[in-house]
C-alpha cells in the first residue's frame, strides 16, 4: 500500500468501547430512574391520601367527619387509625350532629389495560348508592 491509501482509511470503531459506553449510559439512566422514584414516592403517597380524603367527602354528601373501619377476624368492624396496605377499609361519614350519613367503600376491578380503583358512597337510610368517583384509572380514551 502506498502512503496516500493509508491516509484515506478510517479506523473501524471498537465494539468494546461502544458496548462499554452504551452499558454505562444504561446503568446511569437506571440509577437516575430509581433515585427519582424513591425521591418522589413520599409526595406521591401524600397526594394519593389527600385525593382519597377528598373523594370520601365527595361521595358522602353532608358528611363533615369520617371514621375508618376494617373487618377483623371475628367478622366485626373495628376502628383503625390509618389504613394499612392490603387491608380493606370502610369509611363511615358523619354530619355535624354526629349522625351517620353514609359509608364510603373502595372497590377495584380489572380494566382493559390496568386496575381501575373507584370509591362509592352508600346510604344505609335510603339503601342506595349516593356517590361515585374514580380514584385511579390508566385507561386511554377512545
Cell numbers at residue 6, please? 493509508
Whether the CB-CB separation of 138 and 111 falls below 8 Å is answered with: yes
Q: Please name the residues in contact with 78: beta carbons below 8 A apart, sequence gap of 6 or more.
A: 69, 70, 72
pLDDT at 51: 93
User: Helix/strand/coil (H, E, C) string of 103-139?
Assistant: EEEEEEEECCCCEEEEEEEEECCCCEEEEEEEEECCC
Q: pLDDT of 5-60, one tens digit each?
A: 555 566 667 888 889 999 999 999 999 999 999 999 999 999 998 999 999 999 99
What are the residue boundaries of the structural domains of the chain, listed by start? Answer: 3-136
Mean pLDDT score, 117-125? 94
Residue 2 has pLDDT above 60, yes or no: no
| Higher pLDDT pick, 93 / 3 | 93
The fraction of the chain above a pLDDT of 90, given in percent, is 61
Residue 134 has pLDDT above 90, yes or no: yes
Amino acid at each position: 500500500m502506498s502512503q496516500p491509501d493509508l491516509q484515506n482509511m478510517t479506523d473501524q470503531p471498537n465494539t468494546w468501547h461502544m458496548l462499554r459506553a452504551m452499558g454505562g449510559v444504561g446503568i446511569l439512566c437506571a440509577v437516575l430512574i430509581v433515585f427519582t422514584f424513591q425521591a418522589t414516592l413520599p409526595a406521591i403517597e401524600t397526594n394519593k391520601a389527600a385525593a382519597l380524603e377528598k373523594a370520601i367527602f365527595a361521595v358522602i354528601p353532608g358528611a363533615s367527619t369520617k371514621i375508618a373501619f376494617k373487618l377483623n377476624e371475628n367478622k366485626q368492624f373495628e376502628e383503625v387509625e390509618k389504613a394499612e396496605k392490603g387491608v380493606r377499609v370502610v369509611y363511615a361519614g358523619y354530619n355535624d350532629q354526629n349522625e351517620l350519613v353514609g359509608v364510603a367503600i373502595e372497590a377495584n376491578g380489572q380494566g382493559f389495560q390496568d386496575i381501575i380503583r373507584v370509591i362509592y358512597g352508600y346510604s344505609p337510610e335510603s339503601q342506595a348508592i349516593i356517590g361515585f368517583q374514580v380514584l385511579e384509572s390508566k385507561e386511554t380514551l377512545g
